[in-house]
Amino acid sequence: MKRFSVMLLVLFLCAGLALAESGEAPAADPFAAVTPAMMAVAEADVNEDGTLAVHTGSRLMAAGMDFGDGAAILRLIASAPAEGRLTIRVYVDDPEGAPFITCVFSPITKESRMTKAIDGVHDLTFVFEGEGTFTSWQAFTSLEALETALRAEHSAPFDDAIPTRYLVRCAQEGTVEALDYTAHDYSNDGEAYEKRAFVYLPYGYDPGQTYDLLILCHGIGGNEHEWGLSNDSSRVKAIMDNLIYTGEIKPFIVVTPNGRGGRTSDASAFYDFGKELRNDLLPAVAAKYAVDITDRSRCAMAGLSMGGMQTINIGIGECLDLFSAYGAFSAAPNNGAYGTAAVLNTHPEYDIRMFYNICGTEDSLVGAASAMKVLPSLNDRLDDSNFVLQLVPGGHDFGVWYLGFYNFARMIGAQ
C-alpha cells in the first residue's frame, strides 16, 4: 500500500513537472476560483458536485499559476467531518520544502484566508492531512478584492433565526471587561460621577491593531447588564465569538453602557445620553482600547427599544459625525423621526453605511408612526442599499433583539 502511494506520487509529480515544463499549457489564473477539476489530483476522489473527498496523503497540484504583480491573500474553501481536523499545507514550487501556508479546518470552519504575498508564475502543491472535503482555492490582490467577492456571495443580508451553532460556547473565546469611567450628570448640574460599562474584546485582542467599535444600548428598564455581557453565558459574547471564529465577521469591540446620561430616576436621562456618549464614554473607550473614534466608518451604534430610539434620535440625530452604521431593534415610539430626517437632509457629507431595523410583528409597543417605518420617506439618504426593515414573528422581547444583534453584527462586521 505504501509503495503504491509512493509510486503514484512519483508519477503525479513527474506529470506535474512535465506539464509545467512543456510550456504547452497557458499560465493558469489563480484570481478566479480554482477547483479540483482544474488541478492534477492524486489519491483523492472527485465527488459528484466537483468537490474533492480528501484524506491523509491526498495531493493536488496546480501548475503554472500566474500570480502576476502579486496576490496578498489566498482563500481555501474546505471542510472537516463532524469530528476531527483537516490540515492543508500548500507548497510553492518545491513540495519537499517548507509549506508556504498551512490551513487547519474544523467542522465549523468552512474557509481559511491566509495573508501571504506571492507574485509571478508558480506550481502549487496541496498536501492533505486528515479527512475532509476540498472545494476550491483562490488568490486575491488585496483585502478589498476579497471583500468585494464576499459581498457578492452573501446577497442575503439577514437570517430569520440565529443558527444554534452560533449560540454555543466557542473554541476561541473573547473576554469581557468592566470599563469604569467618569461621566457627567447631564440631566442635572453636570457634576462628575463614576459609571461602568462592559466591553467585549475579541479572541486574540491585540492593542497594536485598530478595531471597529459597536456601542450597544439597552431598554428603558435596563442598565449596562441588560445585554448580558457580564454573564458567564453571555449570548452576545457567544454570537461574537462564533461569527469571528468562522471568519464571517472581522473581530470588533462591543461596549454595553448604561444609556442614561444623568442621575435622574425617570426616563428623561435617556435623552441626555448623547452628551455623555460624545464627551465621556467614547473618549474613555478610546483611551483604554484599540479603536479609532475619529473614524466614523469604524464606529456603529445599536440598541433595543429605548436604546433603539436613542440610536435614531441620538446616534443619527446628534452623532452623525461619530457613527456610520446604526441598528434599531424594536425602537421605542418617539416623535424624533422628523428631527432625525432633518439632520440627514442637512448633512449629506455623512454617508449612512447601514441603518438596520428589526421588529416583532406582535410588538404592540411599536406603532405605525415609528421612526423605522416613516424615516425612509422623510429623506433621500436611505434606500435598499443601506436601509433594512426586518419584520419577524415575535413580541417586544429578546427573541427579536438577539436576532437583531446577530444580523446587525454580521452586516457591520462583513469581511
User: Which positions touch ligand FER (CB under 6 A)?
Assistant: 219-220, 305-306, 309, 332-334, 365
Q: 3-state DSSP call for residue 343? A: helix
CA–CA separation, 214 and 302 (whole Å): 7
Nearer to ligand FER, 365 or 374 (CB): 365
Q: In this structure, what C-alpha cell is assigned to residue 410?
A: 454580521
Nearer to ligand FER, 309 or 312 (CB): 309
Closest CB 322 distance from ligand FER, rounded Å = 22
Identity of residue 360: G
CA–CA separation, 174 and 176 (whole Å): 7
CA–CA separation, 199 and 227 (whole Å): 11
Q: 3-state DSSP call for residue 337? A: helix
Nearer to ligand FER, 58 or 305 (CB): 305
Closest CB 320 distance from ligand FER, rounded Å = 21
Nearer to ligand FER, 136 or 370 (CB): 370
Nearer to ligand FER, 249 or 309 (CB): 309
Closest CB 357 distance from ligand FER, rounded Å = 15
Nearer to ligand FER, 128 or 401 (CB): 401
Strands 252-256 and 212-217: parallel
Closest CB 334 distance from ligand FER, rounded Å = 5
Q: Cβ of 142: how many Cβ atoms within 10 Å? A: 12
CA–CA separation, 332 and 396 (whole Å): 10
Q: How far is CA 28 from CA 15, 66, 73, in A?
A: 16, 6, 17
Closest CB 117 distance from ligand FER, rounded Å = 50
Torsion of CA 75, 292, 278, 201, to 10 degrees: 60
Closest CB 309 distance from ligand FER, rounded Å = 6
Closest CB 330 distance from ligand FER, rounded Å = 8
CA–CA separation, 307 and 313 (whole Å): 10
Closest CB 377 distance from ligand FER, rounded Å = 21
Q: Which residues pair with 196 in a beta bridge?
A: 180
Buried b (16+ CB within 10 A) or exposed e, 73-94: bbbbbbbbeeeeebbbbbbbee
DSSP string for 107-124: TT--EEEEEEEE-SEEEE
Length reported for the chain: 415
> What are the two backbone dihedrals, phi and then psi, of residue 395, each rounded to the nearest 5 degrees?
-105, -150
Q: Please, which residues have CB within 8 angstroms of residue 135's CB and are 6 or more apart in sequence?
A: 35, 51, 52, 77, 78, 79
Nearer to ligand FER, 120 or 333 (CB): 333
Nearer to ligand FER, 109 or 305 (CB): 305
CA–CA separation, 413 and 405 (whole Å): 12
Strands 175-184 and 111-118: unpaired
Closest CB 274 distance from ligand FER, rounded Å = 15
Residue 59: which of 78, 38, 44, 37 has the closest Cα?
44
Contact in structure between 184 and 192 (CB atoms under 8 Å): yes
Nearer to ligand FER, 30 or 307 (CB): 307
Closest CB 198 distance from ligand FER, rounded Å = 19
Nearer to ligand FER, 258 or 334 (CB): 334
